Amino acid sequence: MKHNKITSKYLFVTLLNIVITISEFLGGILSGSLALLSDAVHNLSDVAAIIISFVAHLIGQRDRDKHKTFGYQRAETLAAFTNGVVLLVVSFLLMLEAFERFTNPQPVKGRLMLIIALIGLLANGVSMLVMSSGAKHNLNVRATFLHMMSDALSSIAVVIGAVIIYFWKSNLVDPLMTLLVSIFIMFEAYKITKKAANILMESNPNVDLEEIKKIVLSFPEVTNLHHLHVWRYSDDFIMMDAHVNVTEKMSVIQLEQLYSKIGQELKTKLGINHVTLQAECQRGIKEKMIVLNKDD
């Protein structure tokens, strides 16, 4: 039932944003407003982002198999990275067009621009309210809610520009608002792209390595920790593997118990979901926690 409600929300918001996008594209062309066109592109990118995010979420729910032994959760990360890169490119192109408009201002029909902008603002506000109810309990819904909120802020900028153009006939406001909206979109897109890239590059998700070492070595059976790797597999799944030196007298059962205790401590204190440890006696006893490549 909960899944059906989320699906219905995605469907409603997607259809509403498609209507907004078409209206703003037509309004931007007819009024000559670059700000409306930039907001339309923003909405179009969000429609794509919502669809891609939802499809990726469905793919991510699939069980692991012989082809994807880790599973399909990174489908959502790939979707986020793709959306981020597209937004960066589109924002850059809009900024170039805005600079061109500064040197060669174009007439803008302020009244038509204002009407379309108000419709866009109202629709974006409705979309934001629809997604707000589940934003606290579902990460995917929250991401969509943030998209809708950025759309609403973008629409407010366009409305302000339309009011100034309509009453004061200043055509330079249009490229100025376009520039501001593009910078805002680029900033948000950069954060999304960077986070997705860090996940794909298996970067350390800001976990304190010294704290890991402190926790692991707090167990008296462990004498050294080396060959440590920590990475984020997906948005909510952190993994770690490492070699630990232990005493020679430990049995397999004792090792299993030790692994379980260490894993539980790391999950409770640092949020590491999946821990893989390899026990050794003498090998690597003098090696450091992070071992550099031979070429380094």
Task: Provide the residue range defining the domain that includes 33.
Answer: 1-201
Given a cut of 70, the residues of the chain with pLDDT beneath it are 1-7, 42, 53, 56-57, 60-61, 106, 133-144, 146-147, 235, 291-296
Same domain, 122 and 82: yes
Residue 244: its pLDDT value, please? 94
Same domain, 220 and 97: no
Same domain, 190 and 218: no
Same domain, 54 and 172: yes
Q: What is the pTM of this model?
A: 0.69
Residue 263: its pLDDT value, please? 94
Number of CB atoms found within 10 A of residue 285's CB: 12
Residue 295: its pLDDT value, please? 46
Last residue of a domain, one of 201, 221, 237: 201
* Residue 290: inside a domain: no
Cβ-proximal residues to 251 (8 Å cutoff; 6+ apart), any chain = none
Same domain, 34 and 74: yes
Residue 215: its pLDDT value, please? 95
Report how far residue 141's alpha carbon sits from residue 216's, in angstroms, rounded to the nearest whole number: 36
Same domain, 100 and 175: yes
Domain total in the chain: 2
Same domain, 255 and 274: yes
Same domain, 143 and 263: no
Query: pLDDT tens digits for 219-264?
Result: 999 999 999 999 988 767 899 999 999 988 899 999 999 999 999 9
Same domain, 31 and 155: yes
Contact 275, 259 (CB under 8 A): yes
Same domain, 100 and 8: yes
* Residue 70: inside a domain: yes
Query: pLDDT tens digits for 7-25?
Result: 677 778 888 888 888 888 8
* Residue 29: inside a domain: yes
- Closest among 248, 250, 246, 242 to 288, alpha carbons compared: 242
